Structure 1
Amino acid sequence: MFNRAQGSWCVKVFYGPGTQAAALQGCQSQQATLTGVQDNTERLAIAAAARLVINQNGGGQGDVWLGATRKPTCPVASSCNGLLTFDWTDGTTTGIAGFKFAPTEPNGIIYPNWHNSNPWGQQNCLVELISGNSEVAKFGYAHGDMDDQHCQNTFRMYACGKKP
């Protein structure tokens, strides 16, 4: 449990491969929602919890869906400062102190062959990168860094939050 200025907030990391929409449904089945990250302490605690979860389920590297979406006013990486690109969606998390993006992220990739023919479009959702056994996660980014991703990608974990 985290003690935020706006009140207590419980967070739990779940294992369950799925898209961002499936992760949200998983949280809703727990009477929760995909969690935002209020500050660096929460970000590191979620990373530590996710490391335990991933190691209980085969180890390796993974991603944790979080509760944030790209702002419509930030359609490309150059249109907004990285920390101002996303909004928290859990209705409780505020500010930008919880964001820590990997270098060159969020990059808002729209793959050329996807732009017109693939409904995935832009990377509008947010994940936290996890390594089961080191401080280096995928792409050489640090364990616990954040990355923008296509909401339709399938990842191994998601973090839910709710008031106690």
Structure 2
Amino acid sequence: MKKLFLVFCFFLVVLGHKRSRQIKKFVEFDSSQSAWSSSWSSEEDRRPRKPQKPKGPRCDAGWLQFERPNGVWCILIGNPNVLNGWYSQQDAQNACTSLGAILTGFQNNNERMTVAQKALEMTTGAGRTVAGLWLGAISASGSSQWTDGQTTGIEGFKWGVGEPDSNNWPANPACIQQFIISPNFVAGAEDFASWKTYFANGDLDRYQCGSQAYPRMRLYACGKKGV
């Protein structure tokens, strides 16, 4: 009986030793796996990450971006460096077409004044205090409308005093320009002092479509959908 008890004890000792070795191997394997996994994660963290592409339509560099009910609308203020008035509305439209755009209208007051402020910076930067900016709009028989096929409503219309006028301009319908005028405007040799009375910066003016145009410095605003 004593021998059986000793054999049983020996069996338990051997079994316990084997289980201890198995547990040790498992721990070593698990530790190795953990270290390998940690090393792999560190390698991934050091890899340069590609910049995420912005979600939704965006405008090209240099274009103003606006949110409209029908999506993102981009506007570029063009400066043909014309200071003598020889730049018609059609010339401006051709310039926009070459950019895959069209002469734009203003959906709201924010668009109108944002363009006016940026255009004024360009005007004063050229040493001038007044300019005319061609828009995609026409006016005839007391009715005015945007012509870019995207701008809607009348919120973007804000006329100068006495505008839209009833002058019989050469083209029918007449075109519309935006007056870009500095608070420090002083009439020069080819300017009219009355502009300061009738127009604030950003006001609209019913005007002829051709050239030679007043004010002599000419600008334009192109528009296109964001991509």
Determine if the alignment matches structure 1 residue 92 to structure 2 residue 150.
yes
Within 2, Cα distance between the matches of 1:106 and 1:67? Answer: 15
Q: Output aligned runs, 1:92-131, within 5 Å.
A: 92-110=150-168, 120-121=170-171, 124-131=174-181
SS at match of 2:210: coil
Q: Which position in structure 2 is the counterpart of 1:138?
A: 195
Q: CA deviation at 1:55?
A: 2.0
Q: Which position in structure 1 is the counterpart of 2:72?
A: 8
Within 1, Cα distance between the matches of 2:173 and 2:99? Answer: 26
- Taking structure 2 as the reference length, the TM-score comes to 0.59
Determine if the alignment matches structure 1 residue 151 to structure 2 residue 209.
yes
- Taking structure 1 as the reference length, the TM-score comes to 0.80
Q: CA deviation at 1:121?
A: 4.5
User: What is the identity, as a one-letter code, of the residue corresponding to 2:97?
Assistant: Q
Q: Residue 88 of structure 2: which of 19, 29, 36 is its match? A: 19
Within 2, Cα distance between the matches of 1:28 and 1:6? Answer: 21
Within 2, Cα distance between the matches of 1:27 and 1:108? Answer: 29
Within 2, Cα distance between the matches of 1:58 and 1:27? Answer: 25
Runs of 5+ consecutive residues of structure 1 not aligned to the other structure: 75-79, 112-119
Please identify the structure whose Cα radius of gyration is greater. Answer: 2
Higher relative helix content: 2
Q: CA deviation at 1:131?
A: 1.5
CA offsets 1:62-114 (integer angstroms, 9 cap, x no match): 1100100124xx2xxxxx3xxxx211111100000000001110003127xxx
Within 1, Cα distance between the matches of 2:121 and 2:102? Answer: 21
User: What is the identity, as a one-letter code, of the residue corresponding to 1:160?
Assistant: C
Aligned residues between the structures: 145
Within 1, Cα distance between the matches of 2:75 and 2:116? Answer: 12
CA offsets 1:3-43 (integer angstroms, 9 cap, x no match): 00011001111112310000000111111110110000011
Contact 2:112/2:156 (8 A) holds in 1: yes
Within 2, Cα distance between the matches of 1:102 and 1:133? Answer: 15
Q: Output aligned runs, 1:47-86, within 5 Å.
A: 47-71=116-140, 74=141, 80=142, 85-86=143-144
Within 2, Cα distance between the matches of 1:39 and 1:121? Answer: 27
